[in-house]
Amino acid sequence: MHYRQTRAEISSSAIQHNAKWVRRKMTGGRLLGVVKADGYGHGVAPAAQALEPLVDGMAAGFMEEALAVRESGYSGPLVILEGCFSSAELTLCCEHQLSPVVHCEQQLQYIEQAHLNVPLWVWLKVDTGMHRLGWSHEQAQQALNRLQSSKNVAGVTLMSHLANADAQHRLNADQKQLFCQLSDTLNGYQARSFHNSAGLLNPDTQWPLNDNDWVRSGLLLYGINPSTVTEVQSQLQPAMRLVAPVIALHQLEKGESVGYGSGWSADKPSVVATVAMGYADGYPRQAINGTPAMVRGQQVGLAGRVSMDMLTIDVTGIDNVQIGDDVELWGPNIDVRQVAACADTISWHLLTGVSGRVPRVSV
């Protein structure tokens, strides 16, 4: 039972629509559905269950998340993007058929020294310019040789990650060139993976995908265009609709202000609605006045500072707004990318930040 109407509506059919869309964008290759961070905030089980028939594998961030994906019933290929933090985790990888990323010397040693019942498929991460995780291009062949000679390794996918896929940046072409050169010259791997959602869409990082290529897609599957390079948002269906009710209405005289710090003042007689959604629910406190929301089918703007459990919107001139009306904070009608821009952040951050006290309701 939920007494508060505040909720995140999650649409499995939207996730499936988006997965099919991503598949159509791929000229070939295999699709790895990224369900880390509780399925980007949508709930790992609903996300994994929606994606299961449409992807060739899935990816979690770390062991706990991978086990949650298994608990949801998924039994296909499952990659752990940060790899293992201890040798004990390799036993779990065997038990649950998980593919860890190997991005550093320590993780390679765990593999070399393990006594495993079944050899594992591993993903070797090379650093092509992001400098966050991965082996340098000089170290890559040696690492591959060591993996190849380990009885604990069944096969290797060569991977790298883009630092600027969502923008136009000179490093995109550099990273692509280095990865292609590496995949041409290195021996001892069977598959490769370079593209995230934005990388798939960015002309500077694309190539004709073949059977050996895995695309690692997250944000696109949840219906949000990660790219500033292409305009594809209208073809996607946002899978989360964040909704909260109006719980109070106030008439303000010209010059009166609302909320903490009196952050918004009426420049004419106004009506302000208080909505049961605050930063403790994951709505960004940094959101500025005018950040869009929707009530009664009309776009309105945030008025005043977001507080812990509530926010206020200017509904002046909107007919018939009543206590109990649903307000969409983001979703099919209010672009989460716009809300993110108004809060100086990105849509990945907002989706994954919806807190545990907001019920996920499937629609």
Ligand X SMILES: *Cc1c(COP(=O)(O)O)cnc(C)c1O
- Interface positions with ligand X (CB under 6 A): 34, 36, 81, 161, 196-198, 216-219, 226
* Both structure tokens of 362: 């499937």
Nearer to ligand X, 152 or 196 (CB): 196
Nearest approach in angstroms of CB 347 to ligand X is 9
Query: Which C-beta is closer to ligand X: that of 25 or that of 161?
Result: 161
Minimum Å gap between C-beta 37 and ligand X is 8
In whole angstroms, what is the distance from residue 12 CA to residue 55 CA? 14
State the minimum distance, in angstroms, from the CB of residue 79 to ligand X: 9
Angle 105-113/140-148 helices, nearest 10 degrees? Answer: 10
**Do 61 and 82 contact (CB within 8 A), yes or no?**
yes
Question: How far, in Å, CA of 102 to CA of 82, rounded?
Answer: 8
d(CA 230, CA 167): 10
Q: Is 198 or 336 the residue whose CB approaches ligand X more closely?
A: 198
In the complex, least distance from residue 128 CB atom to ligand X, rounded to whole angstroms: 12
CB of 178 to ligand X, least distance (A): 17
Where are the alpha helices (H) located in 167-218, listed in sequence order? 170-185, 197-201
Would you name the residues annotated as active-site residues? 36, 260
**Separation of alpha carbons 50 and 142, rounded Å:** 39
User: Which run of H or of E encompasses 112?
Assistant: helix 105-113
Residue that has been written with the tokens 């290929």 in this structure: 77
CB nearer ligand X, residue 194 or residue 264: 194
Min CB(228)–ligand X separation in Å: 13
Measured from the CB atom, the residue of 216 and 360 that comes closer to ligand X is 216
Task: Quickly list DSSP for 50-100.
Answer: HHGGG-SEEEESSHHHHHHHHHTT--S-EEETT--SSTHHHHHHHHHT-EE
* Whole-number Cα distances in Å, 187 to 23, 111, 146, 183, 194: 29, 19, 12, 8, 17
Tokens representing residue 198 in the block: 């934005």
Nearer to ligand X, 214 or 279 (CB): 214
